Amino acid sequence: MPIQILPAILANQIAAGEVVERPASVVKELVENSLDSGASLIEIEIEKGGHKQILVRDNGNGIPQQELALALSRHATSKISSLDDLEHIVSLGFRGEALASISSVSRLSLSSKPAEQNEAWQAHSEGRDMQVQLTPIAHPKGTSVDVTDLFFNTPARRKFLKAEKTEFSHIDEIIRRIALSRFDVAFSLKHNGKLLRKYPAADNSVSKHKRLISICGKEFGEQAIELNSQYQDFSLQGWLAPPNTAKPQVDCQYFYVNGRMMRDKLLNHAVRQALEGVIAPEHQLAYVLYFSLDTAQVDVNVHPAKHEVRFHQSRLVHDFVYRALSDAINQYFSASPQAGNE
Ligand code: ADP
Ligand code: MG
């Protein structure tokens, strides 16, 4: 076969393989877009575990009519415009890929109304094999993205979708993680018409604590050691289950870097190392940690789904996190000496 440039739809579907693994990854991308748009309220509605429908509605800044079709194109973003911007990313998105990818493997409607526009408009696409159609629609300020029939045109991918319940539990988990990253934003999650989660906006320590408890459990919320460490431009805040909790919350292991949720080997290693020796082998780690540093010190453009980052001074980061946790644990033991003799 001679070398040829792939048609746009196929290129987008290939990219979708990296970004859109399952319904929960669609939810993640859409909710991150809502957060980037400055929304204070984000409503998520799911039908049949996302097999049938994923709807994300926000009250953010919206997309002007003349940019709606562009928003669905690959490499189209309002978040960066230069290499310099790439080194100082403050938004969750920047690759301009999510909507293009999702719309290439689903039927997608994007409806929006910016505050300064009188009417709302909707762009509709089906697998992106035709021109995007724009129609006027009723919609309050903000944006809704309605994704139906995920993978309808990629049967091989559709086959890999798990049972409704499993896919929904992945979505639920994504919303928990995101809700822990933005206490100031209200989230709600419906499944098959039923309201299952409601996280009201939390602006003081009492309401923040309430959200922490509703996500990580009462025990964790009440017993967790609170962290607050600074070193130069590094800071580590959050909560850590005391090493001797009898019934540790196994499913709360969240690490955020500059507000972005991460699965990072280096950071996980620092956490494990700090707890080694003080935590009984049968006890699972539980933590919700927020690490922040200068955006120029970290490269977020490592993985399409942005689960990983690269630190310019990785040794320093590792040692800071390790030290901050070790200090907090030592302090905890010295404040309650009997805690260690369980
Ligand atoms: P990225 O987030 O990397 O820029 P996306 O494909 O996710 O790429 O989105 C493309 C563009 O569409 C965004 O840069 C933004 O301008 C616009 N957009 C997407 N979702 C929303 C939303 N909910 N509210 C406002 N603008 C949005
Ligand atoms: Mg995005």
Let me know if residue 2 belongs to a domain: no
This complex has an ipTM of 0.99
With beta carbons less than 8 A apart as the criterion, state whether 323 and 330 touch.
no
Residue 210 forms part of a structural domain: no
Q: What total of structural domains would you count in the chain?
A: 2
* CATH number for the domain harbouring residue 240: 3.30.230.10
State in Å: Cα 119 to ligand 2 middle: 24
Q: Do 189 and 96 share a structural domain?
A: yes
Domain of residue 313, residue span? 217-335
DSSP 148-180: ESTTTT-HHHHTT---HHHHHHHHHHHHHHHHH
Co-location of 137 and 262 in the same domain: no
Q: Is residue 206 part of a domain?
A: no
Location of structure tokens 């993985």: 303
CA dihedral sign, ordered 316, 254, 296, 266: positive
Residue owning the nearest CA to atom 16 of ligand 1? 78
CATH of the domain at 133: 3.30.565.10
Give the pLDDT confidence score for residue 245 in this predicted structure. Answer: 67
pLDDT in tens, the chain (342 residues): 899 988 888 888 887 777 898 999 999 999 999 999 999 999 999 999 999 999 999 999 999 999 999 999 888 899 888 888 888 888 898 888 899 999 999 999 999 999 999 999 999 998 866 678 899 999 999 999 999 999 999 998 899 999 999 999 999 999 999 999 999 999 999 999 999 999 999 999 999 999 999 999 998 998 899 999 999 999 999 999 888 766 655 578 999 999 999 888 899 999 989 988 787 777 778 899 999 999 999 988 777 767 788 999 999 999 999 999 999 999 998 887 655 444
**What pLDDT, on the 0 to 100 scale, is given for residue 8?**
81
Which chain residues have CB less than 5 Å from ligand 2, an ion? Answer: 33, 93, 98
Whether residues 177 and 248 fall in one domain: no
What lies within 8 Å, CB to CB, of 215 at 6+ separation is 176, 179, 180, 199, 252
Question: Does residue 341 sit within a domain?
Answer: no
Is 239 found in the same domain as 166?
no
Residues 182 and 237 in one domain: no
- Residue 29 shares a structural domain with residue 68: yes
Q: Is-contact 203 211, C-beta < 8 A?
A: no
Ligand 1 first shell, C-beta below 6 A? 29, 33-34, 37, 58, 60-63, 71, 76-79, 93-100, 143
| Last-in-domain residue among 173, 199, 225 | 199
Query: Both 236 and 189 in a single domain?
Result: no
Q: What is the pLDDT of residue 341?
A: 46
pTM (2 decimals)?
0.93
* CA nearest neighbour of 74 among 18, 146, 4: 18
